[in-house]
Amino acid sequence: KGKIKSSWVCSDCGDSFGQWWGSCRSCGATGTVKQFSESSSVESKPSGFGIAEKVAGSWFTQKSEGLAPQRLTDVNKGVNQLTWRIPLPGPFGGEVARVLGGGLVPGSLVLVGGDPGVGKSTLLLQMAAMIAQEGDFGRPAPVLYVSGEESVEQIGNRADRMKIGTEDLFLYSSTDIEDILEKIQALSPRALIVDSIQTVYLKGVTGSAGGIVQVKECTSSLLRFAKKTNIPVLLIGHVTKSGDIAGPRVLEHIVDVVLYMEGEEYSAHRFLRSVKNRFGSTDELGVFEMSQKGLQAVSNPSEIFLSEQHPDSEILAGLAVAVIVDGSRAFLLEIQALCLSESAATRQYNGVLPSRAEMIISVLMKQAGLKLQNNAIFVNIVSGVKLKETAGDLAIAVAICSRSGEWKKG
């Protein structure tokens, strides 16, 4: 008999430990930590499709029926089939495809993470509609959008506002993974979207929906579903501040592709970044704008970080533009600096590491002879972008120089 791995799992919060504890070290609940072994994670269920038995905690029992080691040269004969991707048309599709590494790979499991409200549901509803609309070489291709957060009427309303009226887009509201995978059999869709992984659960698995065990087991089951059926599955995962709901990070190693959606609160721009991709390069950046009708691709994103043009040359002092490369594209970043002499020597930096800014200021004082000791200095990177590259150093230095009184004198 193979080794059965066991751990101790809190039935309240789902966190797991290497040993037994009288009270849970994560949530503090008493008497909730129970031994949990891979084989006992799922109650045996003889009825239904038996998906639960196959999917949950069965890394050991999964049999490689009829499989044998293959010659590399034989494997690579089928390479054309493997590089085929579900096309994502149009400017919006193109921008998503760029981040996915060329398109949606059949049978892949894609995780889209991001803060609540950033626009994940909007993005995936649009993608679902687009895939359904494109069809399968002229034949209709249903796409199923499952939400555990909203009713079908709510999703319908949202689609209506976004002017989506695709006939082959199917909506379903459920939180039961078994139920979802059962319903999908009849539909045999081109893609499955699950919104969100924190709301779905697998019967017989410890913990409540959103707990670490549930989230991991549900993701594993969807992964196996995707591989078995070749239907791509797109998962939404909320980034959570509190520790009681498992965030997308715990799933990164399970899924094929991890995308994060980012955006500033007071800006309509949304960025889609790939941090893991088994089918392409990471570090690609997709740029979108949130509009009344959903997300729109920004076709020429290089200048979106520039604030408005300033006709007054006096205002131009303290402004510098840096060119940085993100993904395969170059972006212009505007850097603003303000130096107030004869005031408290406070420092305020937004979008740049304080230690980096301090270093640049020190270099300016030492090498350029600027007398900034008694200055209040403010540095801001427009549109809330975090400047990580050293490529911005010169622009920061120039912005500070041009704003400091020293420059005019000298």
Binding residues for Mg ion, per CB under 5 A? 121
How far apart CA 17 and CA 34 sit, in angstroms, is 10
Amino acid identity of residue 39, one-letter, is S
Please tell me whether residue 120 binds ligand TYD under the rule CB under 6 A: yes
Please tell me whether residue 165 binds ligand TYD under the rule CB under 6 A: no
Q: What are the contacts of 47-54 at 24+ separation with CB within 8 A?
A: 48/178, 48/182, 49/178, 49/181, 49/182, 49/185, 51/177, 51/178, 51/181, 51/182, 51/221, 51/225, 52/178, 52/202, 52/203, 52/204, 52/221, 54/224
Least Å from the CB of residue 380 to ligand TYD: 25
How far apart CA 375 and CA 332 sit, in angstroms, is 28
Please tell me whether residue 117 binds ligand TYD under the rule CB under 6 A: yes
Closest to ligand TYD by CB, 32 or 175: 175
Residue 162 binds what, of Mg ion, ligand TYD, none (CB under 5 to 8 Å, by partner type)? Answer: ligand TYD
Please tell me whether residue 116 binds ligand TYD under the rule CB under 6 A: yes
Task: Please identify which residue in 121, 133, 206, 277 interacts with ligand TYD, judged by CB under 6 A.
Answer: 121
Residue 161 binds what, of ligand TYD, Mg ion, none (CB under 5 to 8 Å, by partner type)? Answer: ligand TYD
Residue 158 binds what, of Mg ion, ligand TYD, none (CB under 5 to 8 Å, by partner type)? Answer: ligand TYD
Please tell me whether residue 162 binds ligand TYD under the rule CB under 6 A: yes
Least Å from the CB of residue 71 to ligand TYD: 46
| Candidates 82-90, 99-107, 115-123, 179-187; binding stretch for ligand TYD (CB under 6 A) | 115-123
Please tell me whether residue 118 binds ligand TYD under the rule CB under 6 A: yes
Least Å from the CB of residue 124 to ligand TYD: 8
Q: Are 288 and 263 in contact (CB under 8 A)?
A: no
3-state helix, strand, coil in the chain (%, to 5): 30, 25, 40
- Residue 329: φ, ψ to 5°: -125, 155
- Residue 392: φ, ψ to 5°: -90, -10
C-alpha separations of 373 from 58, 165, 346 in Å: 64, 62, 10
Least Å from the CB of residue 242 to ligand TYD: 16
Q: Which residues bind ligand TYD (CB under 6 A)?
A: 114, 116-122, 158, 161-162, 290, 292-294
